[in-house]
Amino acid sequence: MKIKNIFLVGLASFGMASCNDYLETEAPSKLTDDYVFSTAEEANRLLNGVYQATCSSNTYGNAYLTTFCLNSDVEFTTSSAELKSASHNEWKLFDGEADGSGLESTWNAVYAAVERANNFVNAAENSDLYKSGNEDLNQMIGEAKCIRAMNYLDAVILWGDIPFSLTRTYDNESLIMPVASRDVILSTLIEDLRSAAPKMKMASKITEGVERCSKEFAWSLIARMSLFRGGYSLRHNDGDTKGYKMERPADYLDYYKIARTYADSVIKSGSHNLTKDYFTVFVDESNYKVATGDDPIFEIPFVQDVNGNIGYIHGPKGDESSAGGTEGKNIWGKSSGSVGLNAFYRFTFDSEDSRRNTIGYWSYSYDGTPVAVASYNNYCNKWSKFWDEAGTLGKNSSGNTGVNFPYMRYADVLLMFAEADNEIEGKPTDEAKAALKAVRERAFRSANNKSDKVDAYVDAASTKEAFFDLIVKERAWEFGGENIRWKDLIRWNMYNKVVYQQFWKYYGMGCDRDDSYDYEGIFNKLPGVCFYKVLSRDSLNKYPEKYTAEKYPELASYPNKTLDVLEFFRYDSDDLTIVNLWDNFGMNVDYMPSEVGSDAWSKVTFFSWLDDETGIAKAPCRCSLRGYIYIDVYGVITPASMPEFNSLDVLETLPPVRYMLPYPTDAITKSQGAYKNYYGY
């Protein structure tokens, strides 16, 4: 039986076993030693309650992919507000406060999941079933420990030093959980999983497959935690509630070695591969297909019409009619498309990289008509309700898609291994190169010159620094829309540089492509006016010799085979090719298509970001990183100490980004003075 089919039973059975707020004083836990795990089947039902807590919309089901997916060179959400929001929750802009809306609910959701895991582990390890050496129960204990570790890891990334305990509230002397340092927390969790993993099963031996935590997921999670344990993070100055700096622990290399060991264990196990094409992995998830042995190592198992907004917040925005729902051939209902990708991100890809095809350029009206979008970002089209061939959720649906999210992928393990090995050895080894090549092989599987894009590309990096640069770029291309990029940049101590550069890219492009801010020399190469036509699905199917994957990859790979799409203008001659979605016409304006007549093309203008009234960039280009750097309508930079861009040398003088979240006000109040905020909150 699939795990999601028995979630609700597990939730009902386990409902009394967790507390809504870990600081509550009333009946914190009712799963005591008096409760007996009489059978593995009974334990399994209770374990489903642990999984269910992890599916909360306040964490993995929505908030982690939207509210707390911070802006970077990959994911990017804009704001036109010149002043801080009254809700104090603009975390993506680094401009929130301790009373920010949504902060407390996410904090409580994390600790509710942790409490359920602690309840399960403690009760299970005190049961007669455990004492008898039951293998199934040992597997389940490992699963609960994995769920606990991933919740703690992602909380540590967001908050740094946090309240920490592996003991259920029932057994604690105090209801106020003590704060532990992030280093102690991650080291403890790593050792906890190193002990649990040997007793766990491979995904192929588990009925639910990758919808349950497996041995290889435990190994992968150890590797991920180790890289964060050994990476940089924002740390407050001793005794100073306002100051902060970026530091990494002195023993970081020890943890890179652990990361390499456990990533290598996954690789050598042969339990996963990258056989499926890149886009297919996510399209299959959108069609509720669960495959064991390919890229996904652990998928968070959401339930249709119950939880999970994957494919609602991702993919093209889909409007509903004024009466509600969608009509005609649009059978997929409403979608928000709120996970935005940086407007410049798509131009970083090689033209033959299949991962570029997961970026979206049009939305849909209620009747299924495609609408060109010229915004400050693009859609992340990895998952979408529109990809579900059966239209399972129906015309009147919105969120709670039940589409699984791949929390851990094999591609990540390969890249973690390559990164750790390069850092340890001080140069790219053959093993590290092979891991990186495996990821790129899938991306360029259909490329005409695959060997150049894979083997030659990787082999050209002969130094530690050059190979690390390849890893940095590869992880950007591989994990778009998965809430990984900003976290990587933090542990590499690159976040302030990237945030600063993105600000000036948006601002410079908004200032009529001001080349004084164009440190990459790309502004005048990017398309301005872009011509397009609505292309019916019948026409697309009728002329396969025209709409080839080589010339129109965004159409050939498009997963929805029912709705119309947009054809973007392309000019081809013996000596000139202009692909309007990617190229600026420049001096070749004579080749622009007609906007009138029987062969009329519509047009949309990209990067029209200049405010004619102020003469500088529009608000979204100035306000979207407001908590770190902001320029007002008069051109004044805030903070005053922030340097204006004039060369790449300025990157070495930048202050760190205050990405850390504050403890919620309510948690501080209930802690009776045990907790306090740092980082200037």
pLDDT tens digits along 368-426: 999 999 999 999 999 999 999 999 999 999 999 999 999 999 999 999 999 999 999 99
Q: State the pairing for strand pair 377-380/570-572.
A: unpaired
Contacts (Cβ under 8 Å, ≥6 apart) of 102: 58, 63, 67, 89
Give me the pLDDT at residue 169, please.
87
373, 605 Cβ separation under 8 angstroms: no
CA-wise closest residue to 148 among 113, 199, 177: 113
Give me the pLDDT at residue 496, please.
98
For residue 472, the tally of other CB atoms under 10 A from its CB is 15
Inform me whether the pLDDT recorded for 29 exceeds 60.
Answer: no
CA distances (Å), origin 88, targets 95, 108, 109, 162, 645: 7, 18, 19, 21, 29
21, 28 Cβ separation under 8 angstroms: no
Stated pTM of the model: 0.95
Per-residue pLDDT of 251-281, as tens digits, reads 999 999 999 999 999 999 999 999 999 999 9
CA distances (Å), origin 196, targets 164, 190, 548: 19, 10, 50
In angstroms, the first-to-last Cα distance of the chain is 48
Give me the pLDDT at residue 34, please.
46
Inform me whether the pLDDT recorded for 302 exceeds 80.
Answer: yes
**pLDDT band at 624; cut points 50, 70, 90:** very high
> Rounded to whole angstroms, how far apart are CA atoms 106 and 297?
25
Token pair 């697309």 is at which residue?
A: 540
**pLDDT band at 121; cut points 50, 70, 90:** very high
- Give the mean model confidence (pLDDT) for residues 74-100: 96
Phi–psi pair at 222, nearest 5 degrees: -60, -45
> Rounded to whole angstroms, how far apart are CA atoms 363 and 637?
35
Extract the tokens encoding 619: 């608000």
For residue 605, the tally of other CB atoms under 10 A from its CB is 12
336, 317 Cβ separation under 8 angstroms: yes
Give me the pLDDT at residue 12, please.
38
Q: What is the mean pLDDT of the chain?
A: 94
- Give the mean model confidence (pLDDT) for residues 95-116: 96
- Give the mean model confidence (pLDDT) for residues 614-620: 96
Per-residue pLDDT of 519-531, as tens digits, reads 999 999 999 999 9
Three-class DSSP labels, 24-79? CCCCCCCCCCCCCCCCHHHHHHHHHHHHHHHCCCCCCCCHHHCCCCCCCCCECCCC
For residue 54, the tally of other CB atoms under 10 A from its CB is 25
Per-residue pLDDT of 7-24, as tens digits, reads 433 433 443 333 334 333
For residue 80, the tally of other CB atoms under 10 A from its CB is 12
> Rounded to whole angstroms, how far apart are CA atoms 3 and 10?
10
Per-residue pLDDT of 146-204, as tens digits, reads 999 999 999 999 999 999 999 998 888 888 999 999 999 999 999 999 999 999 999 99
Per-residue pLDDT of 482-514, as tens digits, reads 999 999 999 999 999 999 999 999 999 999 999
SS3 568: strand
Per-residue pLDDT of 527-561, as tens digits, reads 999 999 999 999 999 999 999 999 999 999 999 99
Per-residue pLDDT of 315-369, as tens digits, reads 999 999 999 999 999 999 999 999 999 999 999 999 999 999 999 999 999 999 9
Handedness of CA 113, 116, 122, 127 (dihedral sign): negative
**pLDDT band at 39; cut points 50, 70, 90:** confident
Question: Which regions of 89-242 does DSSP assign to beta strands (E)?
Answer: 89-90, 95-96, 162-163, 179-180, 233-236
Give me the pLDDT at residue 28, please.
39
Inform me whether the pLDDT recorded for 63 exceeds 60.
Answer: yes
CA angle 71, 158, 360 (to 5 degrees): 30
Contacts (Cβ under 8 Å, ≥6 apart) of 590: none
SS3 80: coil
CA distances (Å), origin 586, targets 152, 511, 527, 583, 609: 51, 18, 9, 9, 19
SS3 252: helix
- Give the mean model confidence (pLDDT) for residues 118-143: 95
